[in-house]
Structure 1
Amino acid sequence: MAGHVLAVGEALVDVVHRPDGTSAEHPGGSLANVALTLGRLGRDARLATWLGRDERGDTVRSWLAASGVTLAPGSDGAARTSVAQATLDDAGTATYAFDLDWQVPAGTAADAGTLAVHTGSIAAVLEPGATDVRAVVEAARATSTITYDPNARPVLMGDAAEARARVEELVRLADVVKVSDEDLAWLAPETAALDVARAWVHDLGAALVVVTFGGEGSTAVTATGEVHVPSRPVEVVDTVGAGDSFMGALLDGLWSADLLGADHREALATIDHATVERLLSRCAAVAAVTVSRAGANPPWNDDLEDA
């Protein structure tokens, strides 16, 4: 299937602080990581983002270009490149603090070749860009599959109940949602993660909601039931970018299954469980490689010969 995926959202530099007191800088950002994963898996990935014309911006641009990601026009209009401070615990799990500047480049929109528009994370909640993100998504539904990962950042999103309302506005527009159990524990602390996912399918209209449970694997909820796939055993270096690489692999799998594009919305709504299991297994393989490496460093296709 010819075409491309348009990711709309943040690209930035992660400054990673390790438990031993050392630190290192890595290019990243949730939407950039998704686009990078798609590029490394051989897909045409385009990213509408907001970078500065500075040294860190040059680092991010080179990193994306090396994996075949195309930046949308106007993506270099920021006064400075945003930074995320990621602090790792002894298990390699990251917590974040942010210095951000986010806008959607003028003119960003799906075109005739856009099979899917993906957004989420900071881009979907931080103004002034968040309002424009929603407008891009609403307009794109006519031609493209809409995919969404809330990737909750409590330090930026304020009150959890208000954040959940904003998140669910985008869930209503999405065909596919990927969300972590940690996100749902914050957004809906009184409700089991899979109960939230079921409501997002049956009440809000998503065709496929995938909940990731870290080392416990992932569960997909569809209108016809649920599928669970375990994670791959691996020695974890850190979890930076793991969920984003999972999301990129999910888009890649849906592309391979010929389920992207608005004209495939009905087929996506009736996706069979065998296909879902194959998708999640591939996602697990991609995420396992990512967590075995420092920073947001997803695999290339050649790294997945046995997946």
Structure 2
Amino acid sequence: MTSHVLAVGEALVDVVERPDGTRTEHPGGSLANVALTLARLGRDARLATWTGRDDRGETIRSWLAASGVTVTPGSDAATRTSVARATLDAAGTATYDFDLEWRVPAGTRADAGTLAVHTGSIGAVLEPGATDVRAVVEAARATSTITYDPNARPVLMGDAASARERVESFVRLADVVKVSDEDLAWLAPETAPLDMARGWVHELGAALVVVTFGGEGSTAVTATGEVHVPSRPVQVVDTVGAGDSFMGALLDGLWAADLLGADRREALATIDHATVERLLSRCAAVAAVTVSRAGANPPWIDDLEDA
């Protein structure tokens, strides 16, 4: 069976409102963006999601198919396609509000070819789908690497204390976590981001936690220490999808390093710093291309020949 990564979570339409009053629509969603990035980097990426059989749903499915993402059966059974409205400030930073419907397609599971299951963001917190996402992840641990990005949406996640409990319950299941400093500042404002990451490694059991600091780069925490890599200089158009493309590149790099799959869990737990630095450098290159473009538009592998 062909080796692949299974992403489980939302695909939706981003309605982007810019400071000059212009309004555009782009297909997106955190888990869809991760799968799209992986596919554009030449990987077999599959997405279990929840879209409607409407014009917006067809736009999403065509967008994913054009990049080689396989959408799993039953992912088009929603009554409507979800929408996220992103309002950009003068610096290109997005804030969101949502009109959502989320369930996990029946029969979603890791199979013998699933090297990794990735989840997070809305799909891991919005019921009724979130409970099923957790069940998929719990079952997949026996065969697959589990990767997770909280990608916090405070408007959907309630109070920070309750959200932290739910996030950390997923961290306990995960081998790899990618999280932004902004997410950590909301979840635990009294704790420095890297102190949180250290706790997730040394207390909750993640093998690799990567904290992204926007234009300041990213820092990886492992059981044996920390590695920081700066971001790439770039003219920012907007930040929509930047963290998701970073996550997709991280999965691609772990795949290239032969660190995906439950049978590689011990090797992942002892990952060396040189490998981590290479991973983060590649992620920085991918994210730099994404923020230089409008909407969630990560690079294809040919765009990164010199990265």
- Following the alignment from structure 1 to structure 2, what is the Cα–Cα distance between the partners of residues 23 and 237? 15
**Aligned residue number for residue 275 of structure 2:** 275
* Structure 2: stretches of 5+ with no match in the other structure: none
**Aligned residue number for residue 184 of structure 2:** 184
Could you tell me how far 1:239 is from its partner in structure 2? 0.1
**Aligned residue number for residue 64 of structure 1:** 64
**Aligned residue number for residue 211 of structure 1:** 211
**Aligned residue number for residue 290 of structure 1:** 290
- Following the alignment from structure 1 to structure 2, what is the Cα–Cα distance between the partners of residues 226 and 50? 37
> What SS does the corresponding residue of 2:299 show, helix, strand or coil?
coil
- Following the alignment from structure 1 to structure 2, what is the Cα–Cα distance between the partners of residues 84 and 203? 34
**Aligned residue number for residue 54 of structure 2:** 54
**Aligned residue number for residue 23 of structure 1:** 23
- Following the alignment from structure 1 to structure 2, what is the Cα–Cα distance between the partners of residues 168 and 111? 26
- Following the alignment from structure 2 to structure 1, what is the Cα–Cα distance between the partners of residues 292 and 165? 35
One-letter code aligned to 2:302: D
The runs of at least 4 consecutive aligned structure 1 residues that moved more than 6 Å come to none
**Aligned residue number for residue 149 of structure 1:** 149
Q: Deviations over 1:120-172 (max 9, x none)?
A: 00000000000000000000000000000000000000010000000000000
**Aligned residue number for residue 83 of structure 2:** 83
Q: Deviations over 1:51-82 (max 9, x none)?
A: 00000000000000000000011000000000
**Aligned residue number for residue 258 of structure 1:** 258
Could you tell me how far 1:2 is from its partner in structure 2? 5.3
One-letter code aligned to 2:115: L
TM-score by length of 1: 1.00
> What SS does the corresponding residue of 2:105 show, helix, strand or coil?
coil
- Following the alignment from structure 1 to structure 2, what is the Cα–Cα distance between the partners of residues 5 and 68? 13
Superposed CA RMSD in Å reads 0.7
**Aligned residue number for residue 32 of structure 2:** 32
One-letter code aligned to 1:84: A
TM-score by length of 2: 1.00
> What SS does the corresponding residue of 1:173 show, helix, strand or coil?
coil
Map 1:214-225 → 2, pairs under 5 A: 214-225=214-225
Give identity over the alignment, percent: 89
Aligned residue pairs, count: 307
Q: Deviations over 1:20-79 (max 9, x none)?
A: 000100000000000000000000000000000000000000000000000011000000
One-letter code aligned to 1:162: S
- Following the alignment from structure 1 to structure 2, what is the Cα–Cα distance between the partners of residues 2 and 209? 28
* Structure 1: stretches of 5+ with no match in the other structure: none
